[in-house]
Every structure is written in C-alpha cells, then in structure tokens.
C-alpha cells in the first residue's frame, strides 16, 4: 500500500497549509522569497529572515496527530506500507514510522545541509547558533551557505526520491492520496500512475481534486477521523 500525504495531514498538528486561504504566502507575499533558492543563495538578509521564519514556524513545535499515528499503527500491524510525503515537517517519523518507509519529496526542515560540501547537520543546531547571536550561520566545515534540507522554489526534486516514488506508485495495489489537492506536479501524477497500473485509488481530501474522476473512492470527511477509520478497514 502507498500513501501520498500532503499538507492537509498536518493541519491538525497546527501547521497551516501555506498555500491555503490563510496561508503564509497570502499574508506576506515577500515570504515566498525566503524559500526561493536564488534569493536565498544571493542575499544574506533573506537568509537571516528565512532562519527567523524557521525558528518561529509552528512545525517546529508540532506533534503528530491521529492521522500520522494511524499510519504508524498500520505499519506496526504488519501491512507493507510506504509513505510518499509532500510535507517537510518530519511528523510521520516522529509518530514512529521508520525512516526507510518514508519518502520525502520536498525534503525535511529538521535537517540542514551545506550548499557547498553537502555536510548534513540538524536545524536545531543551526537555530541554537542563531539564538546565540549568529544571523546567518555558515558551515562549520567549509564556511559554505547552510540551508534546510528542503526543496526550495527554483530547485528540482531529488531524481532518486522521485524515481522511487514512481516505482512504488506503479507497484502498489492500493494508493491513498490524503490531504493533498493533487495540483502540484510531479507529486500529483503519482495518483494517476497508480491508477493506470491497476491500483485501487482512494482520495481523502476536503476539496475536490483533478484526480477524483479516476478514483475508486473519494472521502471528504475530516482527515483526523476519516483516515484512521479507512486504514482500520484495510488491515
């Protein structure tokens, strides 16, 4: 079984959908620059504000919710499940799902990578340095620019991660798209690939999606109750 999880899975954990009606981008158009690769690499002031945004972001204190826990329970019950997520909050892993079962299409905001030497450290360590007075902490190994291990606007998805996601979509017998509007490509196309290859496609989302007509089942109930109920029927 494959589960594609989007922003709607984390809203019950207090993480707003930044593209939604009350999202970050709508309130502060300039905020998009803070997560756009070219601006970030070019401008130390954008990096300073981007780190402040990370530290203040609700994802930093968020805890997994009933939907994350239900996915973990499914795996622990012995169901072969892989999660492909558009979220960068790491909440599937915090809910106890092993790293190897989670493919993060857009990376993980809890890790930091050096843009020069690719050394990986934690966001917590970077935020500690900022709390201690650094504006724009540089790589401690090579002095390069640090950024969170997320895919920013203007960056391509990791081809290896995307390739694995496509393989999973082709091979699974059930594909559940949950909390995603299925409007951002190439993630959305995974639902179509799964359906073309014979998987049962189930969509759990508050709003209609472009893939609803392809789906075997569309569920519009709140995710926090609908996903646990759906997964219980599949075990």
| Minimum distance of Zn ion from residue 113's CB (angstroms) | 9
Instruction: Tell me whether strands 200-204 and 217-219 are parallel, antiparallel or unpaired.
Output: parallel
Find the largest Cα–Cα distance for the chain: 55
Strand order in the sheet with 120-122: 120-122, 107-114, 146-150
Q: Which is nearer to Zn ion, 144 or 222 (CB)?
A: 144
Alpha-carbon distance 225 to 203, whole Å?
14
Closest listed residue to residue 126, CA positions, set 159, 106, 150, 104: 150
| Minimum distance of Zn ion from residue 70's CB (angstroms) | 39
Find how far residue 103's CA is from the centre of its chain. Answer: 9
Q: Which is nearer to Zn ion, 119 or 212 (CB)?
A: 119
Q: How many CB atoms lie within 10 A of CB 48?
A: 15
Phi–psi pair at 155, nearest 5 degrees: -110, 145
Q: Which is nearer to Zn ion, 80 or 117 (CB)?
A: 117
The catalytic residue among 68, 92, 106, 197 is 106
| Minimum distance of Zn ion from residue 44's CB (angstroms) | 16
Residue ranges binding Zn ion (CB under 5 A): 114, 116-117, 119, 139, 141-142, 144
| Minimum distance of Zn ion from residue 116's CB (angstroms) | 5
- 172 annotated among ligand-binding-site residues: no
Q: Which is nearer to Zn ion, 115 or 164 (CB)?
A: 115
Active-site residue 106, yes or no?
yes
- 114 annotated among ligand-binding-site residues: yes
Going by the annotation, the residues of the binding site for Zn(2+) are: 114, 117, 139, 142
Going by the annotation, the residues of the binding site are: 114, 117, 139, 142
């Amino acid at each position: 079984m494959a589960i594609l999880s989007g922003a709607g899975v984390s809203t019950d954990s207090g993480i707003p959908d930044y593209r939604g009606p009350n999202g970050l981008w709508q309130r502060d158009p300039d905020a998009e620059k803070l997560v756009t690769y070219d601006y970030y690499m070019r401008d130390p002031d954008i990096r300073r504000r981007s780190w402040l945004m990370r530290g203040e972001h609700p994802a930093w204190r968020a805890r997994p919710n009933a939907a994350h826990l239900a996915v973990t329970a499914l795996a622990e019950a012995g169901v072969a499940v892989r999660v492909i997520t558009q979220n960068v909050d790491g909440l599937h892993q915090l809910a106890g799902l092993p790293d190897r079962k989670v493919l993060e299409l857009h990376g993980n905001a809890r890790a930091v990578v050096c843009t020069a030497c690719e050394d990986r450290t934690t966001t917590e360590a970077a935020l500690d340095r900022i709390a201690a007075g650094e504006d724009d902490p540089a790589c401690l190994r090579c002095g390069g620019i640090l950024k969170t291990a997320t895919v920013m606007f203007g960056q391509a998805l990791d081809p290896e991660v995307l390739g694995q996601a496509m393989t999973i979509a082709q091979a699974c017998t059930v594909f559940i798209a949950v909390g995603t509007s299925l409007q951002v490509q190439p993630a959305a196309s995974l639902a179509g690939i799964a359906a073309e290859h014979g998987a049962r496609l189930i969509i759990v989302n508050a709003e209609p999606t472009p893939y609803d007509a392809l789906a075997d089942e569309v569920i519009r109930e709140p995710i926090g109750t609908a996903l646990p109920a759906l997964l219980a029927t599949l075990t």
